[in-house]
Structure 1
Amino acid sequence: MTVYTVKNVASSAFLVTDGKGAMIVDTGVAGRAPAMLRQIADAGLRPADVRLILLTHHHADHSGSALELREATGAPVAIHRDDADQLRRGGRVDLRPTSLVPRLMKVMLAKAEIPAIEPDIILGDEEDLTRHGGIGRSFVTPGHTPGSTCVLLPDNSILAGDALSGGMMRARIARKPMFATDPDAAARSMRVIAGHAPVTVYVGHGGHLTASSVGALQCP
C-alpha cells in the first residue's frame, strides 16, 4: 500500500493505492483536480482505478475539487452524516479559531466557498471502507467539524484531515486543530487518534506527524 500526498497552497489531499485500486482522501481547493489526476497517472493508474473519494470534512480546502474528480473518475463521494447537509448546501461557514495564528488567517480563509455537492455515500461513525470500494476503515472524530472523520489504513497509519494539525515552525509535531466547532470534542478526538498508536499520521496542514508527538496527545 502506498500513500501519495498532493499538496496545494491551502491543504494536502491524498491518493491511497493498494495494488487493487485507489482511493482519494480529500481533494484540495477548487482547481486542484489536474494535480490529483497527474498523481494518479504517475502512480501507474487510470482515473477509473479510483473507487472512492472520501472527504474528511466539508470545508472548501478539502472538498473544493470533489465534483471535478467525481466526474473524472466516476468514483462516489463519501462524507460523514453530520457534515453531509453542509456539503449539500455549500457556501461559506463560520470558522472558529483555536489560537492566535488561525484568528489572523480567518479573514482570508472565510472567503472560500464550499461547492454544493450531493454526496453519494453517507458514512456512519465507523465504516469498513472496503464495502464502498475504499481502503481501510473510517472513524468519526468530531470537533473540527461535527462530522470530521479519519481513515485508519491497514498499515496502522491514519489520514486525519484537520482533526490534528502540524506546528507552524515544527511541522511534524502534532497540534490541536486550527479551527474547531467544539473544542472539547476536538480534544477527545485527538486522544482517540493517539489511542490507535498510529505509525504515521497524515494531516491536511503541516505534513506527516511524528508518532511520538501524536502519542503525547493522550496526556491531559
Structure 2
Amino acid sequence: MKLAPHLHRLGNDIVASYLIDTDEGITLIDAGLPGHWHDLERELAAIGKTRADIRGLILTHGDSDHIGFAERLRREHGVPVYVHAADAHRARTGEAPKTRMGPMRIGPTLGFFAYALRKNAVRTAHVEEVVEVHDGDVLDLPGSPVIVGMPGHSPGSIAVHVPIADAVFVGDALTTRNVLTGRQGLQPAPFTDEPAEASASLDHLSALTASWVLPGHGAPWRGSPAEVASAVRAA
C-alpha cells in the first residue's frame, strides 16, 4: 500500500513492514512474518520493480515477527540484512529473555496469534548472516537511512530515520495498536524487555524531523516525532 511518495507499507495494522522506493533502488524496513513474502511480491509488482531492486533490509530489532522473510531474501537474492549489534544474536538465534507481556484481552490476543499462524510464523527462519549497525550510522542504502538507538523493547531496538520519505520507522519502540488488548492510539508496546529504558529512549525521537511515525504494529501515524514521544509517555 502506497502511503506517500517513496513510502509503502506491507502487511496491516497487526504486523507491518515498510518499503522505501527511490531511483537508486529499494530499502526495506523489517520483514514481518514469513507469509508477508507474498505482500512484498505484490507491492513490487504494483510499482514495476523486482526483488533485484532491493539493496538492503534493515531490522528495527531481532524479534520473530520482524524477521519473517529476511533470511529467505538474504539466502535467495543476496540482500544484506542490517540489525543493531546488540540484537544481532537475537536475530541469528531467537534467544531472548522472558519479557513481561502486560495486560491482555482474550479476543485481541487470540486474534494476533491466529494471524501469526496464518502468516506462517512457526516457519520463521533466523537470519544466518547479518550486518551489524550502531547508533548514528548512516547506511549506504537508498534513502540514506539513519540509525537511531532505541533500547528498551530489546537491547538493540532502533528507529530508522529516512528523510527522503519524511518518515521515522520505530519498530516496537512504541505502538499505535496493542496486539494484546486491541487498544488503539499511541502507547508503549507490549513484550518489552525493559519498559523504563524504552520510555527513556523516546527522548531520541524528539530531535528528529518527520511527518510520518511508522510502528511495526498499528496504523501509520501522521505527526512529529516529538509529539508522538510525548503522547506515548502520557498514555
TM-score when normalising by structure 1 = 0.84
CA contact (8 A) 1:52 1:77 kept: yes
Describe the shift of the 1:149–1:117 C-alpha distance in structure 2 as closer, same or farther (beyond 3 A): same
Structure 2, unaligned runs of 5 or more: none
Could you list the runs of 4 or more consecutive aligned residues of structure 1 that deviate by over 6 angstroms after TM superposition? none
CA positional deviation for 1:144: 0.8
**Partners of 1:9 and 1:174 in 2: how far apart?**
13
CA contact (8 A) 2:208 2:225 kept: no
SS at match of 1:22: strand
The corresponding residue for 2:220 is: 208
Count of aligned positions: 217
CA contact (8 A) 1:98 1:177 kept: no
The corresponding residue for 2:151 is: 142
Q: Does 1:159 align with 2:169?
A: yes
Letter of the 1:68 partner, please give it. Answer: R
Please tell me the root mean square deviation across aligned C-alpha atoms, in Å: 3.0
Structure 1, unaligned runs of 5 or more: none
Q: Which has the higher contact order (CA 8 A, sep 6+)?
A: 2
SS at match of 2:205: helix
CA contact (8 A) 1:6 1:14 kept: yes
* Cα deviations by residue, 1:108-156 (Å, 9 ceiling, x for unpaired): 49995652222331011221112x5663211111111110111101144
Of residues 39, 44, 57, the one that matches 1:40 is 44
CA contact (8 A) 2:160 2:169 kept: yes
Q: Percent of aligned pairs with the same residue?
A: 27
* Cα deviations by residue, 1:157-189 (Å, 9 ceiling, x for unpaired): 101111110045674x32112221111111012
The corresponding residue for 1:64 is: 68
